[in-house]
Amino acid sequence: KMIVGYTLSKSKTKTLQLEKFATYCNNLSLKFRVKAIDINRDISQQELEDGPFDLIISRMTHLLVNDDPVSLEKINRLTQYVQQTNCIEMDPIKNQSVAIYRDKMDEIFMYMNDHSSFNIRCPLSFIVPENVSNIQSLIPPNFRFPAIIKTIRASGGYDAHHMALINSAEQLSEAVDFRPLYVQEYINHNATIHKMYVCGKHTTAVTRISFPNMSDLDTQHPIIFNSQDCKHELPPHLQVEYAGKAPLPPQEETDKVTELLSEYLGMSMYGYDLIVDAVDGTFAVIDVNYFPDYKGVENFFDQLIENIENHLHK
């Protein structure tokens, strides 16, 4: 049998239940076995029991964002193994890095705005670097407030999810005390966000509640929050009756979004957040992340098996 190895952070391995997935696969009559890779040890030494790895599934974003000698050593260990063998890397490490920093992610949104022939307008953004006092000069002429402020780093811990909603440029200075800032247009979306989970040829939509339209918020001061605290339930003062009820765009439209994203990213395991403009009905991608939690995807194991088989037989 062929050997499929996986290496992700401990927390992501637990969330995705990959140990259970390995047992599930190994009890089926598949043409491959699944086993964990210890990224802390020489990978070639881990071949001895079962033979060389034919395919490796990795999620290295937690190491890429650290940029320290220990993390780089682990990344190099995996990269060198792939280079020295005929092993297939499901989603190359170099492609994963696009989901780490929001300024890089912004290039995805602009690509979609420029190359789509359908009903989409991703939000515009700008960066506020450190030690800049004249913020007004940084705002693009066609940028529209309200806006959401985010950290440049999009992954790598709780701090990467500090955010604030602001109603005007004047509120920028009082919203947060960190720099640099990623400032993105806030599109009113009827408090509904569609989490789109891509696994190979499959895309599954899971609809969740989100922040209300700005007209239903007290915007005299910035609304400061951490999105990790609001994943499944908002504080009472931010809850609205219409949350989570906006319909998903037609599948033929979301398929076009997925196709365009997959073409740009060169990845088969990722998620993106899709919203629909409450005013004009256009839709927008506002976030992209590599190897998300696939929460709400009921047949995730079977989708992943199919994706593995497709990579092994390319």
Q: Give pLDDT tens digits for 133-146.
A: 788 889 999 999 99
Residue type, 284: A
Instruction: Say what the pLDDT of residue 302 is.
Output: 98
- C-alpha dist (Å) from residue 303 to 62, 245, 257: 24, 27, 20
Structural contact between residues 149 and 186, judged by C-beta atoms closer than 8 angstroms: no
Which residue matches tokens 């320290």? 68
Instruction: Say what the pLDDT of residue 50 is.
Output: 74
Instruction: Say what the pLDDT of residue 139 is.
Output: 93
Structural contact between residues 278 and 188, judged by C-beta atoms closer than 8 angstroms: yes
Structural contact between residues 212 and 243, judged by C-beta atoms closer than 8 angstroms: yes
**Between helices 18-26 and 300-312, what is the axis angle to 10°?**
70
Question: What confidence tier does 224 reach under pLDDT thresholds 50, 70, 90?
Answer: confident
Torsion of CA 282, 192, 259, 100, to 10 degrees: 110
- E-assigned strands of the chain? 2-7, 32-36, 55-58, 88-89, 125-128, 147-151, 162-166, 181-185, 192-199, 202-209, 223-226, 269-276, 283-290
Return d(Cα 59, Cα 245) in angstroms, integer. Answer: 33
Instruction: Say what the pLDDT of residue 35 is.
Output: 95
Return d(Cα 197, Cα 290) in angstroms, integer. Answer: 10
Structural contact between residues 207 and 194, judged by C-beta atoms closer than 8 angstroms: yes
> Percentage of the chain surpassing pLDDT 70?
100
Structural contact between residues 108 and 257, judged by C-beta atoms closer than 8 angstroms: no
**What is the per-residue pLDDT across 16-73, written as a single tens digit (0 to 9) for each?**
999 999 999 999 999 999 999 999 999 998 877 778 999 999 999 999 988 799 999 9
| Residue 24, token pair as written in the block | 């599930």
The torsion region of residue 20 among left (phi > 0), alpha (psi -120 to 50) and beta comes to alpha
Q: Encode burial over 293-311: b for 16+ CB neighbours within 10 A, e otherwise.
A: bbeebeebbebbbebbbeb
- C-alpha dist (Å) from residue 86 to 52, 89, 160, 165, 216: 9, 9, 36, 48, 56
**What is the per-residue pLDDT across 117-163, written as a single tens digit (0 to 9) for each?**
878 999 999 999 988 878 888 999 999 999 999 999 887 777 778 89
Tell me the pTM.
0.93
User: Does residue 231 have a pLDDT over 80?
Assistant: no
- Residue ranges of the alpha helices (H) in the chain? 10-15, 18-26, 61-64, 69-84, 93-96, 102-115, 172-175, 251-265, 300-312
Return d(Cα 288, Cα 107) in angstroms, integer. Answer: 11
How is residue 54 annotated by DSSP?
A: S
How is residue 170 annotated by DSSP?
A: G
